[in-house]
Chains A and B, each alone.
Chain A
């Protein structure tokens, strides 16, 4: 029996007259790896911001791990790991100190060495992160998300700044975490990886889900060849959505 770890209903976020997330209905269950795809500016990070209570909805409801992201923030964040997008780490602090901040707050007992080992950052644990490359920062941020064996992992563009080894590491960790029993929700536009990782994907376009299902489902429903890559599917679906939007605009005239 699966349960929803993420459930949004009519979720909407407006910034002035711009609608970043538009009447979004999204369900992610506790056993799946869900890939949240979409072109730049589609509203992926805003959606994650709403799940994380970084920002508050204009309308609609969100439930994360069965609770309210705002009112039950402590309970939810205790059971959740986040790798945000466009973050910055704390210069002057070591990887060990970064991990300690998370694990002490969560009262988790993870060994920082083991966590860094998992993300492939073994021997720099006591170095100031100011000396880190972008890929190393990304690995540390991923390790911070893994603290406390979360029930839900939210990864916003986890492949950012990673070399092919790093990309593979992320993929392996996502599978390991899922096998351990965690649900994984990740956004990406690195489409080649998506098919290798995700049980199910949703394509977000202008704040709305325009297609959802397994990659095979999408391949069938989209106007593409049977051996089309995820990229081709993605382009086909989002282009179609654009055309549909334009037609709707024409129709209003």
Chain B
């Protein structure tokens, strides 16, 4: 592909930055969280659960921070004149940016997964390598989705601060931190029915709303791989919720719906479609704006 040299350059830029290695180091500390409920539910495969925890909170923040400047920063500095001067369409430039940044982040982050695997192996014993690999692949795909969102914002923003504000205020806080609360409020406002998350109604729309965010969809898909239950919460909350004596604020399909009454759109595979939509839709919109605009 014509844009692969650009992608290689992008990957090198990120992989050589201090930020990505700081992220990789912090991810190990952030994700290694042994728990009784986790051990009880997953056994040695709790190590794969750590990878999922890596994908919640810290990793999205890091990925967004490592990507929001990717286009607008080059416009500000003037280096964009070189890449726009290459025989590439504007769409190819964005593709090269997204693919390259994703690879540049995925490399160091994979190293932290290897370290987690080593720690898990020593402390918890042999885990199912395919299951572990499955969660790793879902997490790497999730990185690609987040890079795509951040690069898209970067392609549309006119100034670096605008891009920073947008990834934080429009993506990170509402969709990656507060989404479960926001989605509950939206549901209550629209239906007029208050929701007690500790005893949620068996409502398809409420549950689907919860998993429309990138983090919700990521959890659904990674929980599916882990085999803990159908939910947009982290695996440990799901395992707790599914214990008969414990109630948490996690919305878990198996804990709320009677068998056979689960709407088809709550199937875990729909989580993949939601992630795909986050990968494609912001990019598609950004592509149109970026292709039409003046770049200097």
Contact = CB atoms under 8 A, between A and B. Distances in A.
Contact of A87 (B79, B88, B293): B79
Interface stretch (A77-85, A114-122, A201-209, A231-239): A77-85
Contacts of B13: 90, 92-93
B40 interface: no
Q: Kindly list the 5 A-B residue pairs having the minimum CB-CB distance in the complex, ordered from nearest.
A: A104-B5, A84-B81, A55-B294, A77-B87, A78-B87
Nearest to A107: B2
Interface of A: 49, 52-56, 73-78, 80, 82, 84, 86-90, 92-93, 97, 100-102, 104-106, 141, 144
B6 A101 contact: yes
A133 B61 CA distance: 36
Most buried by A among B6, B77, B87, B89: B87
B6 A73 contact: no
B82 A75 contact: no
B79 A89 contact: yes
Interface string B73-100: 0000111011011111100000000000
A6 to B, nearest CB: 15
A106 B9 contact: no
Contact of A54 (B5, B81, B89, B292): B81
A52 B295 CA distance: 11
Interface in B12-65: 12-13, 16-17
B122 interface: no
A82 B5 contact: no
23 contacts: A49-B294, A52-B84, A53-B84, A55-B295, A56-B294, A73-B89, A74-B88, A80-B85, A82-B82, A88-B79, A90-B9, A90-B79, A92-B13, A92-B16, A97-B9, A97-B12, A101-B5, A101-B9, A101-B86, A102-B82, A104-B5, A105-B2, A141-B82
Nearest to A46: B296
A75 B87 contact: yes
A74 to B, nearest CB: 5
